[in-house]
């Protein structure tokens, strides 16, 4: 029994083994998920990326030496198995592999730090400490297969809509957008920061004449939050589009959400089933509720909310009970939105900003942007910031920038909506939160 692949090549994944190839010789590679040694017959559950297949070794059908080799195998060892596909009503899934040859490619240290078969559940902290093992669980990897498909669908959709993918810097100089929530780093002899949003760069691309851009990239926030919905490093899906207003980009967003959900539903059947998740594809347009109305609804539910405040957690929950699917909150007060958000023409106290909510979770926020230099400077000052710190950014507004609008969508929060997991840490391979910086 060799520990080297030599000339062996995988011919099938477990999910490709079915009754149609009964009698064929196949080579499978993966991990030993479980072993059931009944004495005269040994069952090995072989797990690969796409599923689990049973390898059945009856002592009567194989040589004594080979049978002894199989008996020595341990959990989570990496093996390659060459064998024939055998139709059997007694096998899970109706097929099993009768082995002819085996390679033990690597062994696993025992006992394992957590139970991959999930007979005994582990806590999230234990799981994240041994994340590479945790990710071997089919229910855990399913979340990432769905996230992958979601991001793929997002790209397909935005490309169809005429967006150009861009990459903007994550090492930035300015802490003036609100200082405390940026992570400071050493940049040679200077101080720099990790970018909290591609916002200003996206807008500069509007001045550059790219018309429609998107970026899917990490953003970093140094807030000390410690909740099931926040992380300090997440992947943001950001778009910005010229000659469009807030209504136009809301329309793009709702069609994107609906299209992505449909494509995930069509392409991730196995994963959704593993997660026991019934997806529904929402109709567009999504319902829009004005901020004024939100204040009334929240107060009518017995939760205090003053006009001009952002939604507290209690207010979000009250709204989540009132509106259970995807919906927009529009008409936000200008004062609680960033300086680059365009105030409303009719009533400058209100703005053209919107949030996309799923139940009580905010998954995206966007707006029509200020594209006039003077107004932008005025709003920067009004929010207590220094226009000089934005010099390089503001220059883009002095040489002809079109009216534009955009949004940012939290990819992890969107993944939570799709998969139904309630802890955002579940949606990141190696999450970064207040306490966790490893692995």
Partner RNA sequence: GCCCUGGUGGUGUAGGGGCUAUCAUGCGGGCCUGUCGAGCCCGCGACUCGGGUUCAAAUCCCGGCCAGGGCGCCA
Position 19 contacts RNA (CB under 7 A) = no
Write the interaction track for RNA spanning residues 144-163; mark x where CB under 7 A is met and - where it is not: --------------------
Question: Per CB under 7 A, which region of 207-215, 220-228, 348-356, 413-421 contacts RNA?
Answer: 220-228
Interacting residue with RNA among 14, 153, 168, 199 (CB under 7 A): 199
The verdict on 91 binding RNA (CB under 7 A) reads yes
- Residue among 250, 229, 223, 224 at smallest CA distance from 239: 250
Residues 6+ apart with CB under 8 A from 223: 181, 230, 232
Shortest Å, Cβ 30 to RNA: 17
Q: How far is CA 77 from the centre of its chain?
A: 30
CB 318 within 8 A of CB 303: yes
CB of residue 260 to RNA, shortest distance in Å: 23
Nearest Cα neighbor of 236 from 168, 333, 287, 172 is: 168
The β-bridge relationship of strands 25-37 and 41-48 is antiparallel
198 exposed, middle or buried (CB, 10 Å; 0-12, 13-18, 19+)? Answer: buried
User: Of 120, 162, 276, 400, which lies in the binding site for RNA, with binding defined by CB under 7 A?
Assistant: 120
Residues 227-286 that bind RNA (CB under 7 A): 227-228, 230
Identify residues 284-343 at the interface with RNA (CB under 7 A): 310, 312-314, 317, 337-339
Q: Is 60 in the site for RNA (CB under 7 A)?
A: yes
Nearer to RNA, 283 or 321 (CB): 321
Matching residue, tokens 């005269």: 40
Task: Count other C-beta atoms under 10 Å from residue 436's C-beta.
Answer: 15
Is residue 224 part of the contact set for RNA (CB under 7 A)? yes
Binder to RNA among 13, 15, 27, 43 (CB under 7 A)? 43
Under rule CB under 7 A, residue 68 binds RNA: no
Residue 386 interacting with RNA (CB under 7 A):
no
4/89 with CB nearer RNA = 89
Task: Compute the distance between CA of residue 30 and CA of residue 18 in angstroms, rounded to an integer.
Answer: 17
Query: Whose CA is closest to 295, among 277, 311, 274, 284?
Result: 311
Contact between 110 and RNA by CB under 7 A: the answer reads yes
Choose the binding region for RNA from 5-13, 175-183, 255-263, 291-299 (rule: CB under 7 A).
Answer: 175-183
* All residues at 6 or more sequence positions from 265 whose CB lies less than 8 Å from its CB, including other chains: 272, 279, 281
Tell me which residues touch RNA (CB under 7 A): 34, 36-41, 43, 54, 56, 58-60, 74-75, 88, 90-92, 96, 110-115, 117, 119-126, 177-178, 181, 196-197, 199, 221, 223-228, 230, 310, 312-314, 317, 337-339, 383, 422-423, 435-436
């Amino acid at each position: 029994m060799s520990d080297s692949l030599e000339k062996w090549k995988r011919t099938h994944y477990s999910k490709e083994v079915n009754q149609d190839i009964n009698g064929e010789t196949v080579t499978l590679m993966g991990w030993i998920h479980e072993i059931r040694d009944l004495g005269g017959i040994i069952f090995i559950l072989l797990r690969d990326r796409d599923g689990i297949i049973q390898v059945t070794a009856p002592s009567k059908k194989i040589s004594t030496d080979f049978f002894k080799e199989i008996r020595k195998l341990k959990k989570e060892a990496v093996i390659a198995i060459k064998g024939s596909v055998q139709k059997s009503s007694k096998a899970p899934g109706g097929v099993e592999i009768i082995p002819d040859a085996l390679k033990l490619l690597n062994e696993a240290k025992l006992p394992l730090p957590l139970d991959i078969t999930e007979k005994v559940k582990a806590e999230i902290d234990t799981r994240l400490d041994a994340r590479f093992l945790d990710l071997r669980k089919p229910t855990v990897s399913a979340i990432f297969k769905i996230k992958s498909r979601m991001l793929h669908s997002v790209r397909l959709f935005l490309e169809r809509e005429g967006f150009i993918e861009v990459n903007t810097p994550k090492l930035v100089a300015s802490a003036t957008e609100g200082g405390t929530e940026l992570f400071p780093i050493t940049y040679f002899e200077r101080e720099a920061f990790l970018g909290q949003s591609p916002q200003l760069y996206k807008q500069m691309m509007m001045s550059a004449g790219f018309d429609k851009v998107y970026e899917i990239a990490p953003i970093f926030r140094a807030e000390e939050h410690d909740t099931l919905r926040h992380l300090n490093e997440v992947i943001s899906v950001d778009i910005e589009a010229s000659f469009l207003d807030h209504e136009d980009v809301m329309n793009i967003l709702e069609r994107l959400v609906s299209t992505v959900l449909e494509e995930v539903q069509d392409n991730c059947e196995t994963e959704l089933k593993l997660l026991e998740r019934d997806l529904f594809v929402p109709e567009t347009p999504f319902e829009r509720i004005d901020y004024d109305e939100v204040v009334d609804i929240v107060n009518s539910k017995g939760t205090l909310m003053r006009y001009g405040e952002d939604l507290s957690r209690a207010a979000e929950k009250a709204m989540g009970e009132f509106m259970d699917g995807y919906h927009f909150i529009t008409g936000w007060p200008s004062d609680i939105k960033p300086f680059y958000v365009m105030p409303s023409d009719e009533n400058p106290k209100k703005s053209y900003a919107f949030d996309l909510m799923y139940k009580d979770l905010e998954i995206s926020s966007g707006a029509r942007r200020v594209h006039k230099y003077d107004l932008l400077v005025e709003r920067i000052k009004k929010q207590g910031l220094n226009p000089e710190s934005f010099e390089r950014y503001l220059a883009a507004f002095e040489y002809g920038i079109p009216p534009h609008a955009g949004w940012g969508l939290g990819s992890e929060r969107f993944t939570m909506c799709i998969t139904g997991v309630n802890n955002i840490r579940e949606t990141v391979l190696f999450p970064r939160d207040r306490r966790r910086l490893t692995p």
